[in-house]
Chain A
Amino acid sequence: MHGLATHAASAIFGLNPVWIAVALFIATYALIMTDKINRAILALLGAGLLILLGVLTQDEALRAVDFNTLGLLLGMMLIVNITRHSGLFQYVAIWSAKKVKASPWGVMLMMTIVTAVFSAFLDNVTTVLLTVPVTMLITEELKVKPYPYLFAQIFASNIGGTATLIGDPPNIMIGSAAALTFNDFALHLTPVILVVLVATLIPLWFVWGRHLTTDQQHRQRVMNFNEREAISDVRLLKQSLTVIALVILGFMLQRQTKIEPATIAIFGAAALLLLDNFGKDAEKQSQKVHAALSEAEWITLMFFLGLFVLVFGLEKTGVIRWMAENLLEATGGDFKVTTLAVLWASAVLSAFIDNIPFVATMIPLIKAMGPAFGGDPALLPLWWSLSLGACLGGNGTLIGASANLVVAGLAERAGTSFRFVEYLRIAFPLMLVSIVICHIYLYARYL
């Protein structure tokens, strides 16, 4: 690796900072994959070591953290966690199941759509945490196997999450780094995602849907569910929906107002907290705010924090630039080839490795290719191919995305097992089909 970091000062003990940065990144990553130590701990330790060993200064490290991404994540986490206490998710799930008269295939169809739509606007993990238990309750009442429904929900959450800026952390990161807005994602990704969703439902019907049957009396039990009872707090529900609507409106007007997503999300969260706490005494407010703040996924946020620093270590030492140069060499500098290579490579890799560190590394890499392709605006298709590949690839295996593991975990607790190979046998091909659709879309629209 010649020419790397020749300008960077040598780090502690005179060691070449390149090796430290690479070693720390790989070690952190490898340890995360073994699941032996919590990922937040590892990311923070890795980031800390990067500074302690002299590769970065604290100042550089802090500047490397994308607080827009963190703020958007935190804001949406807070909003969702307050909203879920109103019973909204359960209400929608039951209402939609009754709309199709609790027919087994109808319920599967509805739960898929509901999960996809929720995932597009709220984070995937929380969406499945809230919709999977209700789904399992319904399948238990209908006396049908829950596995097909849960499988469909895994796909729905990852597919839906790809559709918007805020649906999935990779999109948030890409949007933030590439200055892409909510509307950009809606215009460029939502169309193909709708096609992918429909295309996914067809094989699901073939494999499971057409075999699902149940008795009228079981369907009647579900029809007897009173969804209005699922709403535990009507006032909170109205307030939450209003804030969510305004927040999304805020995202849509980003180009006009120049106000970035993190501000909108955090402000929305604060506003909702105010509404929820208004008029209560100080101690009660303290309790409620403490509870709301602690429900945010700090592990995820701290993981992101450390990760940004680790990736910047690779950037500063020139490793990213080196990788970009090699990628360009391998694809012969051909934009079409590069774009499609990013799509397929992201998809396959994301199926096995966590897409967040992957996207975090790819973002500066793609930016580094900007000059080669005629400037940043020309990179647009590359961003879409990264987003589609990284987000949809997560469907491929059980470890591809956090939502997958959460669903599997919930299922185990309720007595349904999710085997790695069993899942992969149907999921991986289905995921490849969705990538083929994206390939055709990217080629037709941009290349």
Chain B
Amino acid sequence: MRALPIHRTEFASLRGADVVSEATRRMLTHYVTDLPVVDDDHRLIGMFRLERLLGSLLPKAALIGFGLDDLSFVSDTLEHLRKQMRTVADTPVRQLMVKAEHVVHPDTTPVEIVLLLYRGASNIPVVERETDKLVGMVSARDVLDALQP
């Protein structure tokens, strides 16, 4: 039984060579926190996540995951973070992108998508099984939209 499409077919995406400043501009324009990265054939090659970008603003020691429970003792300013942001502004997104942990297909059932979102996935790419081409994106908002009477 084919499911009604609950994903968006119009979405913003990035190419590997696009730089971080361009990516953040699109994130702000389109109100998304993650953008898919595609190659010349529009196949999905990774996800550029805002979380990861924020991680690159932190001191590397904080990324280890142990030993620094918090950074409350660091009395930092926004200006310092801005400076950090400027240093990564020209980095191509392919250097910071990650593999998409979850990927769904046009025939994935709605309840499976909702389960993934419930468990914490945020912006899930929708990819055609045979060609690997990115055909859509689905987020919790899109589900909400699709569920409106």
Q: Please give the distance in Å from B127's CB to the nearest CB on chain A.
A: 31
Task: Kindly list chain B residues whose C-beta atoms are within 8 Å of the C-beta of A106.
Answer: none
- Complex contact A415–B67 (CB within 8 A): no
Question: Closest residue of chain B to A133, judged by CB?
Answer: B67
CB distance from B84 to the nearest CB of A (A): 12
Given contacts A87-B69, A137-B59, A140-B59, whether A224 and B64 have CB atoms under 8 Å apart is: no
B73 touches A229 (CB 8 A): yes
Assembly CA distance A105 to B74 (angstroms): 21
What's the Cα separation between A227 and B73 when bound, in Å? 6
CA distance A438 to B51 in the complex (A): 52
Within 8 A of B (CB), among A197-247: 224-230, 232
Could you tell me the distance between the alpha carbons of A224 and B61 in the complex, rounded to whole angstroms?
Answer: 18
- Contacts A140-B60, A414-B61 given; indicate if A133 touches B66 (C-beta within 8 A): yes
Report Cα–Cα, A228/B69, bound state, in Å: 14
Give complex CA distance A178, B69 in Å: 40
Residues in B with CB closer than 8 Å to A410 are 64, 66-67
Nearest Cβ in chain A — how far from B114, in angstroms?
28
Q: Is the C-beta of A307 less than 8 angstroms from some C-beta in chain B?
A: no
Contact assessment for B59 and A229 in the assembled complex, using a CB-CB cutoff below 8 Å: no
Complexed CA–CA distance, A39 and B4 (Å):
52
User: CB-nearest residue of chain A relative to B70?
Assistant: A232
A-contact bits for B48-77, CB 8 A (1 contact / 0 none): 000000000001111111111110111100
Which chain A positions have C-beta within 8 A of B67? 89-90, 129-134, 410
Say if the beta carbon of A85 comes within 8 Å of chain B. Answer: yes
Number of interface residues of B (CB under 8 A): 16
Min C-beta distance of A129 to chain B, whole Å: 6
Number of interface residues, chain A, beta carbon within 8 A: 27
CB of A413 within 8 A of CB of B64, answer: yes
10 pairs from A and B in contact (CB 8 Å cutoff): A87-B69, A90-B68, A133-B67, A134-B68, A136-B61, A136-B64, A225-B75, A229-B73, A413-B63, A414-B64
Question: Chain B residues with Cβ under 8 A from A136's Cβ?
Answer: 59-61, 64
Given that A87-B69, A232-B70 are contacting pairs, would A414 and B63 also be in contact in the complex, using a CB cutoff of 8 Å? Answer: yes
**Inter-chain contacts of A130 with B (CB < 8 A):** 67
Q: State how many angstroms separate the Cβ of A374 from the closest Cβ of chain B.
A: 49
Question: In the complex, how many angstroms separate the beta carbon of A118 from the nearest chain B beta carbon?
Answer: 13
Interface membership of A165, Cβ < 8 A: no
Q: Does A94 contact B (CB under 8 A)?
A: yes
The proximity string for A residues 129-149 relative to B, scoring 1 for CB distances below 8 Å and 0 otherwise, is 111111011001100000000
Q: Which residue numbers of B lie inside 8 Å of A, CB to CB?
A: 59-70, 72-75
Task: Known A224-B75, A413-B64; judge A85-B59 contact (CB<8 A).
Answer: no
Closest to A128 in B: B67
Q: What A residues does B74 contact at CB under 8 A?
A: 137, 225
Which 9 pairs across A and B sit closest by C-beta, in order of nearness? A133-B67, A136-B61, A137-B61, A229-B72, A229-B73, A414-B60, A230-B73, A133-B68, A140-B59
**How many Å lie between the Cα of A85 and that of B66 in the bound state?**
11
What's the minimum C-beta distance from A240 to chain B, rounded to whole angstroms? 15
CB of A154, distance to nearest CB on chain B (Å)? 15
CA distance A142 to B73 in the complex (A): 16
Q: How far is the CB of A230 from chain B (nearest CB, A)?
A: 4
A229 to chain B, nearest CB (A): 4
Interfacial chain B residues near A413, Cβ < 8 Å: 63-65
What residue in chain A is nearest B74 (Cβ atoms)? A225
Extra inter-chain contacts (5) besides given A137-B61, A230-B72, A414-B63, CB under 8 Å: A89-B67, A90-B68, A94-B73, A134-B67, A136-B61
Q: Which residues of A contact B62 (CB under 8 A)?
A: 133, 137
Chain A residues in 8 Å Cβ range of B60: 136, 140, 414-415
A-side contacts of B59, CB under 8 Å? 136-137, 140-141
Cα–Cα distance between A414 and B59 once the two chains are bound (Å): 9
Q: Quick one: which of B60, B67, B70 has the most chain A CB within 10 A?
A: B67
Q: Which A403-419 residues sit within 8 Å CB-CB of chain B? A: 410, 413-415
Structural contact, A133 and B72, CB atoms closer than 8 A: no
Could you tell me if B69 and A226 are in contact, using CB atoms closer than 8 angstroms?
A: no
State the Cβ distance, A142 to closest chain B Cβ, in Å.
11
Q: A129-B66, A130-B67, A132-B67 are in contact. Are A225 and B61 (CB under 8 A)?
A: no
Complex Cα distance, B63 from A136, in Å, reads: 11
| Across-interface contacts of B68 in A (CB, < 8 A) | 90, 133-134, 137
Inter-chain CA distance A192–B64, complex, in Å, is 35
Q: Is the CB–CB distance between B64 and A133 below 8 Å? A: yes
Specify which chain B residues have a CB less than 8 angstroms from the CB of A90 in the assembled complex.
67-69, 73
Q: How far is the CB of B78 from chain A (nearest CB, A)?
A: 15
Within the complex, the shortest CB–CB distance from B1 to chain A, in Å, comes to: 42
